[in-house]
Amino acid sequence: MSDISKKDLTEIVSLIKKKEIKSEEVTNSFIKNINNDIKLNSFITNCSDLALEKAKNFDKNPNLETLLPGIPIAIKDLFCTEGVRTTAGSKMLENFIPNYESTITKNLWNEGAFLLGKLNCDEYAMGSSNETSYFGNVMNPIAENTVPGGSSGGSASALTADLTPTTIGTDTGGSIRQPASFTGTVGLKPTYGLCSRWGIVAFASSLDQAGPMTKTVQDCALMLEAMASFDEKDSTSINKKKENYSKKLTDNIKGLKIGIPKEYRVDGMPKEIDQLWEKGKKILKESGAEIIDISLPNTKYALPTYYIVAPAEASSNLARYDGVKYGYRSSKGNNLIEMYENTRSEGFGDEVKRRILIGTYVLSSGYYDAYYIKAQKVRQLIKNDFDQSFKKVDAILTPSTPSAAFKIGEKKDDPISMYLNDIFTVPVNLAGLPAISIPAGTDSKNYPLGLQLIGKPLDEQKLLNIAFAAEKKINFTQTLDRWWEK
Amino acid sequence: MSIDKDKIKHISKLARISVEEKKIDGLAKDLSSIFKFIEQLNELNTDKVEPLSSILNTSLRLRKDEVNDGKIRDKILKNSPQKNEEFFVVPKVIE
């Protein structure tokens, strides 16, 4: 059989269900790629041995009635996995071995999948280039010394290089969609509350949401189906019945209304991004959708709002890392307070510390109203903008990112220019909406560029359908020379 | 607002993160530029806007207050950087 690892998830599932291949063969094809990779650094923990054992067990008595029968999956190292260390890309959790399983991963394993490894990410998911990880930079398979985006950079890199058939990431301000765009893959951030947050290392709780990262829209629908569930253990989990996204997937989008927000045409946006956006409009029109100009007037305030809300929540979430119950502890300090201060200084990296300090400041006495309450008010305005627009349209089309992937080190010293990467993705998190990035073209260097579709809350099916229709017409392909192999 | 050295020292104390003296200037510069960026929000009049408290239009669920796991002391203690039998150990806090 031709190289299994190059096939998409849906095809592999179908071959296993038809008993044309065994889980062990599938698993070995990915392990071979993982072992040949010496440059990407997309894995923090390799679970090949464990995966092979699971695959063999599956083949002995295969249950083919599940969504992901015998499928090995490597996941972002932000999901707690019982008995397998979970680092969040931080020195603080370098040796942390959870004694429980996150709901999302448990859902995947219940559908017949098993763990292939834990993937690199920005430290505590704080970053847009995977350069803040304690475990080192990750490279983008599209070109050497190029970032894969972040924070789910290891996930995007491993998926693109065929080191895993599918993966999952988390998205607080663009951390699934931006790396998907940078690597020519598909990434979906679901509606806030659709996928359980239980067992995910917390960054900003009112924004964090887990989602699938896949090679195709069909795969994305299948993965979302497996991941989404109501969870008692997550107080913001939405109680709704399970959907069959993959079965209901259709490219018939006739009559749907697609909004084009004029505020997303930002100053200095490269011509190729604009052309890509035009191409997206044209394709959806050809598929029978109606294109409507809309306005989201408070768009420019989304990023400043995000840089108050997210650090504020991060500073309180990360207060738990005190060197007492788990995680790193400094050996320096003459008393309890000094132990705390040294532990947090040595255990956290620069970007995480920067955000904790911002968050601490905006929540501190005398500044809370001026910053935090102000941001929550603007957040309401941003949400209102979307609510108004969704009275007129079914979905919104925008570019995913203001540029293609950049070089490692290029933006590292300028936090604002790094933050600007998320200018098109952040508003979605602030409003709790679902959004998907699909590969749609390339820039002058032949680096992939993505288009983003934003939907109404819990309208993932329609979003997937539109993405599916667009994907068919765009017919994006990329050939990689596998420079990262020995 | 510009963030000076004293402010960095104050915030880092609140956040329980010790900051090396040589890194304070760089942090003050970074945070100043970030706050300048954030303060674009002041252009907006939000006097009549209610702050958003939840993006879900529902109130938080309540659950029964009952034990549903427990008896996992040893598992929990396994991840502790320093322990003594069934206790977490911290530097001495009382003389």
Residues 20-79 of B with CB under 8 A from A: 20, 27, 30-31, 33-35, 37-42, 44, 46, 49-56, 60-61, 63, 72, 75-76, 78-79
What is the rounded CA–CA span in Å between residue A294 and residue A273?
Answer: 19
Which amino acid, residue B35?
A: F
What distance in Å separates residue B23's CA from the closest CA in chain A? 10
For residue B68, give the chain A residue with the closest CA.
A233
**Looking at residues B6-33, what average pLDDT do you find?**
95
What is the rounded CA–CA span in Å between residue A77 and residue A170?
Answer: 10
The pLDDT, as a whole number, for residue A85 is 97
Cis peptide before A42 (omega within 30 of 0): no
Asked if A233 is an interface residue toward chain B (Cβ–Cβ < 8 A), one would say no
The pLDDT, as a whole number, for residue A268 is 80
Residues 35-94 of A with CB under 8 A from B: none
> pLDDT confidence of B64, banded at 50, 70, 90?
confident
CA distances (Å), origin A455, targets A87, A148, A479: 32, 25, 31
Question: Does residue A118 surpass a pLDDT of 90?
Answer: yes
Pairing of strands A290-294, B87-88: unpaired
> pLDDT confidence of A230, banded at 50, 70, 90?
very high
ipTM of the complex: 0.95
Active-site pick, A76, A91, A106, A215: A76
DSSP summary character for residue B94:
-
Q: From edge to edge, which strands make up the β-sheet containing A210-214?
A: A167-170, A210-214, A186-189, A435-442, A448-455, A395-399, A257-261, A290-294
What is the rounded CA–CA span in Å between residue A372 and residue A72?
Answer: 42
The closest alpha carbon to B55, from A228, A225, A387, A300, belongs to A387
Q: Catalytic annotation on A151?
A: yes
Question: Three-state DSSP class for A116?
Answer: strand
For residue A232, give the chain B residue with the closest CA.
B63
**Looking at residues A179-191, what average pLDDT do you find?**
98
Asked if A344 is an interface residue toward chain B (Cβ–Cβ < 8 A), one would say yes
**What is the helix, strand, coil percentage profile of chain B, to 5?**
40, 5, 55
DSSP summary character for residue A373:
I
Identify each DSSP E strand in A171-289 by its residue range.
186-189, 210-214, 257-261
Question: Does residue A139 surpass a pLDDT of 70?
Answer: yes
Q: Nearest Cβ partner of B17 from A97, A192, A345?
A: A345
The pLDDT, as a whole number, for residue B25 is 94
The pLDDT, as a whole number, for residue A1 is 65
How many C-beta neighbours within 10 Å does residue B87 have?
A: 10
> pLDDT confidence of A266, banded at 50, 70, 90?
confident
Return the domain boundaries, chain B: 5-43
Q: Catalytic annotation on A445?
A: no
* Portion of chain A with pLDDT greater than 90, in percent: 95
As beta bridge partners, residue A75 has A118
Structure tokens at A46: 């390799």
As beta bridge partners, residue A293 has A260
For residue B59, give the chain A residue with the closest CA.
A236
A354–B30 C-beta distance less than 8 A: yes
The pLDDT, as a whole number, for residue B65 is 87
Which spans in A161-270 are helix H? 177-183, 217-227, 245-248
A340–B78 C-beta distance less than 8 A: no
Which spans in A22-90 are helix H? 23-36, 48-60
Which amino acid, residue B19?
A: V
pLDDT in tens, A365-398: 999 999 999 999 999 999 999 999 999 999 999 9
Q: How many Cα neighbours within 13 Å face the side chain of A154?
A: 32
For residue B30, give the chain A residue with the closest CA.
A415
Which amino acid, residue A19?
A: K
Pairing of strands A395-399, A448-455: antiparallel
Q: Catalytic annotation on A175?
A: yes
Residue B91: list chain A partners with CB under 8 A: 333-336, 338-339
DSSP summary character for residue A47:
-
Tell me what the pLDDT averaged over chain A comes to: 96
The closest alpha carbon to A482, from A38, A8, A178, belongs to A38
A110-119, A159-168, A306-315, B73-82: least confident range: B73-82
Number of residues in chain A? 486
CA distances (Å), origin A14, targets A60, A68, A168, A250: 18, 10, 20, 19
Asked if B80 is an interface residue toward chain A (Cβ–Cβ < 8 A), one would say yes
Identify each DSSP E strand in A352-447 by its residue range.
395-399, 435-442
- What is the number of CB-based contacts under 8 A between chain A and chain B? 152
Alpha-carbon torsion (A258, A260, A264, A265), positive or negative: positive
Q: Nearest Cβ partner of B34 from A328, A344, A415?
A: A415
pTM above the 0.90 mark?
A: yes
> pLDDT confidence of A416, banded at 50, 70, 90?
confident
**Looking at residues A52-80, what average pLDDT do you find?**
98
> pLDDT confidence of B68, banded at 50, 70, 90?
confident
B37–A325 C-beta distance less than 8 A: no
Residue A325: list chain B partners with CB under 8 A: 76, 79-80, 88
Question: Does residue B63 surpass a pLDDT of 90?
Answer: no
Which amino acid, residue A78?
A: L
Asked if A230 is an interface residue toward chain B (Cβ–Cβ < 8 A), one would say no
Structure tokens at A297: 């007037």
